[in-house]
């Protein structure tokens, strides 16, 4: 129940990758035939990624994943365009791959505006407009939040950015395979994605860079990826990424229908528990995201007891799961500090079943009640004698 953290690679993906781990092992930069086979495989995968988001093939650059893509988008635009300005706009609920990069850029002399969000985790386009300055060079707003699943009004934000001639980057790592994307229609200039979020391999992602975008490379040392991303290409993973995104994009409607049914069944069942609150937008959210807060309990204990029952979930971002800090996303949404630690994220995937959902709804109420009985903060009316 933690598919937002990662997903298993599909059988079709693994089958497509296998030849490039063994007999087709040539370096794509080599001019002899084995190298050309690898090179053709990369270009085939590049077309699949481009087709999935409405881009051109030469606008797709392969990376090691979402974190590298986010770093490249922000640092690359910032340093390539600092003669035009030093101001960047983002939101307070971005993934740390964006937020920590912004903090680093502040140390390099750039100024960052962190937009607030409403109680559902949505950015106001009007507040975004008001934050734009003459020296604003980049807007970075994620398409869908990794913790609460809220989908941002990206198309509207893209129009604002385009009207003001400001580059617009979106972190779409959680959205691929769940939200239809057309980078041209949405006026997106840069888009980050990561293969392991949609049943592709780990350690492989991509950055879409609109043709004509002025951007500096993040990595130096080779002429790969049209001299913009140095390093020998991870051919098997790129092939797998291409197959995974082809399948995910082609099955969005069918997959979302199944996931939406599971999501609503989970939400309905969990909200029957007293002092339980849904986090994120009730409808404008990913079809596979359920994020709730239980009062009077602590999330880490909840996860350990669920784990003992063979149910695997999260309190938020897997990249920050070892931290004891309260969720910056829930805090930004106004969730009170005293209950923010009692959050639970459930994110069913394509391989989950209705029986899995029923199992969660059978086990979770007992665990919640057990933890409430143990907590000195629980009022008497919410205890079981």
Q: Which residues are catalytic?
A: 319
Distance CA 145, CA 263 (A): 16
Nearest to 204 by CA among 62, 40, 71, 51: 62
As given in the structure block, the two tokens for residue 97 are: 């791959």
Neighbouring CB atoms inside 10 A of 265's CB total 17
Tokens for 297?
């309990």
Burial class of residue 114 in the structure, from the number of CB atoms within 10 Å of its CB (0-12 exposed, 13-18 middle, 19+ buried): middle
Bridge-based pairing of strands 111-115 and 167-171 is unpaired
Q: Rounded to a whole number, what is the distance in angstroms from the first to the last CA of the chain? A: 31
How far is CA 116 from each of CA 121, 122, 123, 376, rounded to the nearest angstrom? 9, 8, 7, 34
For every residue of 235-303, DSSP letters joined together read: HHHHHHHHHHHHHHHHTHHHHHHHHHHHHHHHHHHHTTSTTEEE-S-SSSB-TT-EEEEETTS-HHHHH
Spatial CB neighbours of 229, under 8 Å, sequence gap ≥ 6: 61, 62, 63, 72, 217, 218, 219
Cβ-count burial of 353 within 10 angstroms (0-12 exposed, 13-18 middle, 19+ buried)? exposed
């Amino acid at each position: 129940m933690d598919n937002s953290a990662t997903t298993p690679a599909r059988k079709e993906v693994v089958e497509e990758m296998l030849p490039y781990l063994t007999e087709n092992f040539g370096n794509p930069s080599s001019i002899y035939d084995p190298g050309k086979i690898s090179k053709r495989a990369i270009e085939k995968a590049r077309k699949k990624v481009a087709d999935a988001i409405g881009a051109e093939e030469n606008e797709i650059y392969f990376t090691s994943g979402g974190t590298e893509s986010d770093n490249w988008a922000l640092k690359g635009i910032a340093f390539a365009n600092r003669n035009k300005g030093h101001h960047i706009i983002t939101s307070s609920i971005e993934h740390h791959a964006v937020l920590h990069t912004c903090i680093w850029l502040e140390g390099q002399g750039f100024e960052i505006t962190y937009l607030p969000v409403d109680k559902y985790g949505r950015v106001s386009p009007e507040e975004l407009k008001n934050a734009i300055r003459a020296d604003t060079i980049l807007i970075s707003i994620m398409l869908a939040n990794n913790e609460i699943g809220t989908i941002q009004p990206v198309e509207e934000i893209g129009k604002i950015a385009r009207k003001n001639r400001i580059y617009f980057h979106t972190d779409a790592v959680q959205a691929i395979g769940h939200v239809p994307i057309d980078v041209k229609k949405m006026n997106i200039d840069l888009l980050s994605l990561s293969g392991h979020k949609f049943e592709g391999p780990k350690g492989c992602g991509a950055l879409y860079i609109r043709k004509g975008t002025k951007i500096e490379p993040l990595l130096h040392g080779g002429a790969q990826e049209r001299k913009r991303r140095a390093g020998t290409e991870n051919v098997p993973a790129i092939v797998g990424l291409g197959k995974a995104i082809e399948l995910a994009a082609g099955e969005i409607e069918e997959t979302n229908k199944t996931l939406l049914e599971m999501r609503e069944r989970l939400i309905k069942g969990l909200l029957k528990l007293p002092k339980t609150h849904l986090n994120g937008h009730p409808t404008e959210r990913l079809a596979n995201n359920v994020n709730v807060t239980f009062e009077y309990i602590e999330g880490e204990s909840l996860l350990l007891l669920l784990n003992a029952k063979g149910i695997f979930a999260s309190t938020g971002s897997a990249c920050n799961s070892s931290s004891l800090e309260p969720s910056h996303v829930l805090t930004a949404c106004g969730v009170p500090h005293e209950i923010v630690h009692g959050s639970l994220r459930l994110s069913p995937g394509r391989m989950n079943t209705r029986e899995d959902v029923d199992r969660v709804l059978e086990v979770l109420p007992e665990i919640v009640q057990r933890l409430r009985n143990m907590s000195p903060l629980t009022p008497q009316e919410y205890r079981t004698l």
